[in-house]
Each structure stands twice: as structure tokens, then as C-alpha cells.
Amino acid sequence: MRTIVYDTGALLAAERRSPDFLALHDELTAARIRPVLPVVVLAQAWRGGPQHQISRVLKGCDLRPDDERTGRAAGVICAASATADVVDAIVVATAVQYQAAVVTSDPEDLHHLADSIGVKVRLFTV
């Protein structure tokens, strides 16, 4: 595995101390793989206050700001899938851009988005 993208469900799994997610994250960082984290995912998961587990995970991630390319790609995905979940669309667009797998708690929605643009994205469910 070269690259992996975390969606909001991954960060929420971290915060609830999911053993499966934390083991996966530790395995990735031990292999010097820095998961890609779109900034909108952080915005969706962060609720202020001390979120120690999310903060710990963030240290091992490559936080990516959204840009015009990602925004346009996410808009195309939303149109093609007839959905309005921009955050999930950005996760899929980022996964396509980096040819990456995604760690998610919502595989059905991400499959739907990817299928709508004719791509396959490997998903790890937490």
C-alpha cells in the first residue's frame, strides 16, 4: 500500500479509540506511510475541546488543503452521483488523485460516489 486517505469516519474511530483503527494507523506510520487527510475531513470531525486521539492521529498524517482541482472534481462527482455530500466527494476525488485506498466507516456511500464516475476505490472499513 503506497497511499491511503482517511475520511471522517476514520477520525471518529480514532477518537472513540477503535482498536482496529488505531492498530491500522500505527501499522501505517510504522511503515512510514503518512495517510492523506483532506482538511474538510478534519473540519467535519473536529468539535473543539481536547480531542486527544484525533490530535495524535493528525501528527502522523499529511493534511491537504482543498484546491480548485479537487473542488471541481468533487463537484463532478456530486453531479454524477446525484448526491450533495461534498466531504465524501472530496475524499473520493483525493483517493483518485493519489490512486489511494480509503479508510472509512461509510463504504456504501463511497462506493456509490466512485461507481458514479466509473472508478474503483479500495476501502477499509472501521
Instruction: Give this prediction's pTM.
Output: 0.94
CB neighbour list of residue 37: distance below 8 Å, 6 or more residues apart: 5, 6, 11, 58, 61, 62, 63, 64
Count of structural domains, the chain: 1
Report the distance separating Cα 103 and Cα 86, nearest Å.
17
> How many C-alpha atoms does 111 have within 13 Å on its Cβ side?
8
Per DSSP bridges, beta strands 36-38 and 62-64 are: parallel
Task: Identify the band that residue 99 occupies on the pLDDT scale cut at 50, 70 and 90.
Answer: very high
Would you say the C-alpha torsion 90, 91, 92, 95 has a positive or negative sign?
A: positive
HSE, side-chain direction, 13 A CA sphere, residue 109: 18
Task: At 3, list the grid cell.
Answer: 497511499
Using CA atoms, how far apart are residues 126 and 118, in angstroms rounded to an integer?
A: 24
Average pLDDT over every residue of 73-85: 97
Q: Looking at residues 42-55, what average pLDDT do you find? A: 91
State residue 56's pLDDT score: 93
CATH number, residue 24: 3.40.50.1010
If you average pLDDT over residues 5-32, what whole number do you get? 95
For position 48, what pLDDT does the model report?
A: 83
Q: Mean pLDDT, to the nearest integer, of 41-58? A: 92
Strand partners, 8: none
Range of the domain at 67: 4-125
